[in-house]
Amino acid sequence: MAAQPYGLIAGFSNPSEIFHAAEKVRDAGYTRWDCITPFPVHGLDNAMGVKRSMVPRFSLVGGITGFCTGMSMIWYMNGYDYTLTVGGKPLFSPMFAFPVSYELTILFTAFATIIGMFVLNGLTKLYHPILKYEHIRRATSDTFYIVIQADDPRYNPANTRTLLETIGGRDVAELEA
Amino acid sequence: MAHAADPHVAAPAILQEVQPADLPRPKLVDHDRSFTWITDKICGIIEGKTPVWWWWCFGVACFIACFTVAGITYVVATGVGVWGHRTPVNWSWPIVNFVFWIGIGHAGTLISAILCLLRQKWRTSINRSAEAMTIFAVVCAGIFPVFHVGRVWYAWFLFPLPNYNIVWPQFRSPLEWDVFAVSTYGTVSVLFWYVGMIPDLATLRDRFAAAGNRLRARLYGFFAMGWRGSSRAWSNYEMAYLILAGIATPLVLSVHTIVSFDFAVSLVPGWHTTIFPPYFVAGAIFSGFGMVLTLMLPMRAVYRLEDLITQYHIDCMCKITLATGTMVGYAYAMEFFIAWYGANPYEGFAFINRAFGPYAWSYWIMITCNVITPQFFWFKAVRRNTTFVWVLSLFVNVGMWFERFVIICTSLTRDFLPSSWGYLSPTIVDIFTFFGTFGIFAVLFLLFIRFLPLMAMAEIKAVTPQADPHSHA
């Protein structure tokens, strides 16, 4: 018995085709499937039923961490560990600590946002079954694909293939796991 | 993401009644180029043989860069006394050059972040190379303060790292704020640039793999991090890009604000003014667009990119240069007004001295280049003449260097006590070190256009008419 395949892939030639095809795959009740596009197609995430991205949560945590790091670092360094009175001014004040804390807020937010995007997208994984498909190289240039995974509860080799063909998919092929 | 073109949303009844005219938007890609054409065009620049002109430019740029290397080596070997600083002008060329270069960087972030938030789609053709320009400008800028500290091997004292003196940096000082502002700016610019490039690196990976060049496919593939264009990934990616644009906007405004605090927080007449933060930011964007035009126009001509950087793009860049140049002109006028209206004799003298004192020549170069030059951009005929636009952009670059020179040097040579007045003359070491930074900048930029996608292919494709899923519906 052959190993369970990763799923089925079908090609589309323009954003309009994949947009309407994605709506039909979504309406057919599939959940573990994806569109592969050379650029972000406007509104395709809605057509696929993808929820709002979770990246902002990472950013918020990063930003708060950055601001607190800045304020507490400056308090520790100038207000506690190495105190130096200059012109009778207070040893610590959030006013003079603000510019540096502000910059650290931005720095930490940037790192958290990018780490969040990498984690959520599973990047840094240099291998993926989709990358084994011979025509997938065109997906980063000018062709659009829909992939339905074999572990989707509604997946059925024959029916899913028929669905992909009826919604206009070309060159429907099975992907090795 | 609801949008007006969505066919599922009924048009308001009023539209039927008033019958609005269909205003055609200028095309962002001329000749209705296809997705395939865009990929082939941008990737072809990297995949093709290295052109002969590239080697010539690279050789000249390396030679010019040697001037900075030699100048810096001499300074480190002997001491900062070989520079032209003499009391009372203890901040001179190095700080002028630092502010000049850091200002140039600002246009890149403006294009990639602020114009992204404002949904200016024309940014897509120029944002990648403008961001590269930002990073390389920050590299050039960073050289000066680091060596200006004197004993460069102690430059790490600027950062809050534990040292054997058990002394921490003083966070009340705007100079310390500047350390954080500039290093954050450099880091976030690199991150923003890199994240924007991931999908295009994946395109290059796939093309090199298809062409059988395994080494390059692996190299680009490593930096593409396994990107495969999944829509679920695009959704997170677009959100991350939007947040980066959202935080880079306050960042770019804060960086030059903090640079201006280096001056404005002091008590030197001519520096101690509240107009500095907005005035510095406007000046930075002005100088940055000057440099963007200086770089883009030859690049467009050499690589035949007229379909991607259209006349509309040049018009937009010229208009921003005009707007920010005029803001800078307003700031010059307002400084004079406040110097008179504030009735502080030292302040008043500082400004009269700028315009009519020993440095009047530099003041009038600044006014000519920064206030008069951009006024040519009011005229369509000027904006359509790319050679003339390019020459004007050079004047902008020169003018903005002189602006920093005027602010820093004329204020310091004539402060409170006439007994400590002086006149600054740069030494040959100052001049060589600054001249060489143009070589460093050019070396980095040439390497960039040779090995990295110089335009954001995925973003350009997304703003073409055929990318709209409803265009064929």
Q: Tell which residue, A109, A155, A32, A165, has the closest CA to residue B230.
A: A32
Per-residue confidence band for B4, with pLDDT thresholds at 50, 70 and 90: very low
The answer to whether the beta carbons of residues A10 and A166 sit under 8 Å apart is: no
Per-residue confidence band for B41, with pLDDT thresholds at 50, 70 and 90: very high
Query: CB-CB: which of A18, A104, A126 is closest to B226?
Result: A126
In this predicted structure, what is the pLDDT of residue B1? 39
Q: In chain B, pLDDT over 70 holds for what percent of residues?
A: 97
Where in chain A are the domains? 7-38+142-175, 55-121
Chain A hits for B171, CB-CB cut-off 8 Å, are 74, 77-78, 96-97, 100
Higher pLDDT, B419 or A118: A118
What ipTM was predicted for this assembly? 0.92
Q: Tell me: the pLDDT tens digits for B186-215?
A: 999 999 999 999 999 999 999 999 888 899
The answer to whether the beta carbons of residues B178 and B258 sit under 8 Å apart is: yes
Indicate the range of B13-17, B90-94, B223-227, B254-258 predicted with least confidence.
B13-17
Chain B hits for A141, CB-CB cut-off 8 Å, are 35-36, 39, 203, 206-207
Query: CB-CB: which of A15, A16, A78 is closest to B171?
Result: A78
SS3 at position B42? helix
In this predicted structure, what is the pLDDT of residue B18? 83
Query: CB-CB: which of A16, A40, A111 is closest to B238?
Result: A40
Q: In chain A, pLDDT over 70 holds for what percent of residues?
A: 98
The answer to whether the beta carbons of residues B184 and B251 sit under 8 Å apart is: yes
Max avg pLDDT among A70-84, B100-114, B117-131: A70-84
Instruction: Indicate the CATH number for domain A7-38+142-175.
Output: 3.30.70.2750
Chain B hits for A140, CB-CB cut-off 8 Å, are 199, 202-203, 205-206, 227-229
The answer to whether the beta carbons of residues B88 and B412 sit under 8 Å apart is: yes
Q: Tell me: the pLDDT tens digits for B149-170?
A: 889 999 999 999 988 888 899 9
What end-to-end distance do the CA atoms of chain A give, in Å? Answer: 14
The answer to whether the beta carbons of residues B407 and B353 sit under 8 Å apart is: no
Higher pLDDT, A110 or A131: A110
Tell whether the model's pLDDT for residue B329 goes beyond 60.
yes
User: B157: burial class by Cβ within 10 Å (0-12, 13-18, 19+)?
Assistant: middle
Tell whether the model's pLDDT for residue B97 goes beyond 50.
yes
- What is each CA distance from B92 to A158, B328, B424, in whole angstroms? 76, 22, 8
Rounded CA gap, A156 and B321, in Å? 60
| Residue B49 CA to its chain's centroid (Å) | 29
Query: CB-CB: which of A56, A103, A142 is closest to B180?
Result: A103
Chain A hits for B212, CB-CB cut-off 8 Å, are none
Helix (H) or strand (E) holding B141: helix B127-148
**Neighbour tally for B209: CB within 10 Å:** 17
Smallest CA–CA distance, residue B225 to chain A, in Å, is 4
> Looking at chain B, which residue has its C-alpha nearest residue A39?
B458
Q: In chain B, pLDDT over 90 holds for what percent of residues?
A: 63
Phi, psi values for residue A10, rounded to 5°: -140, 145
Per-residue confidence band for A137, with pLDDT thresholds at 50, 70 and 90: confident
Rounded CA gap, B377 and B317, in Å? 10
**Neighbour tally for B301: CB within 10 Å:** 14
Higher pLDDT, B459 or A4: B459
SS3 at position A41? coil
For the record, the structure tokens of B294 come out as 């200086």
Tell whether the model's pLDDT for residue B105 goes beyond 60.
yes
For the record, the structure tokens of B433 come out as 């070190």
In this predicted structure, what is the pLDDT of residue B188? 94
User: Under 8 Å CB-to-CB from B410, ≥6 apart: which residues?
Assistant: B270, B350, B353, B354, B357, B359, B362, B363
In this predicted structure, what is the pLDDT of residue A141? 87
Rounded CA gap, B384 and B450, in Å? 28
In this predicted structure, what is the pLDDT of residue B10? 63
Indicate the range of A4-8, A46-50, B22-26, B214-218 predicted with least confidence.
B22-26
Q: Which amino acid, B309?
A: I
Chain B hits for A25, CB-CB cut-off 8 Å, are none
Q: Tell me: the pLDDT tens digits for B339-374?
A: 999 898 888 999 999 999 999 999 999 999 999 999
Predicted TM-score (pTM) of this structure: 0.91
Q: Please give the mean pLDDT across all residues of chain B.
A: 90
> What is the maximal distance between C-alpha atoms in chain A?
83
Contact pairs from chain A to chain B, CB under 8 Å:
232
Q: Please give the mean pLDDT across all residues of chain A.
A: 89
DSSP string, A84-150: ---TT--S--HHHHHHHHHHHHHHHHHHHHHHHHHHHHTTT----GGGGSGGGGGGGTT-EEEEEET
In this predicted structure, what is the pLDDT of residue A2? 57
Per-residue confidence band for B286, with pLDDT thresholds at 50, 70 and 90: very high
**Neighbour tally for A84: CB within 10 Å:** 10
Q: What is the CA radius of gyration of chain B?
A: 24
| Residue B216 CA to its chain's centroid (Å) | 30
Tell whether the model's pLDDT for residue B389 goes beyond 90.
yes
Higher pLDDT, B5 or A168: A168
The answer to whether the beta carbons of residues A169 and B64 sit under 8 Å apart is: no
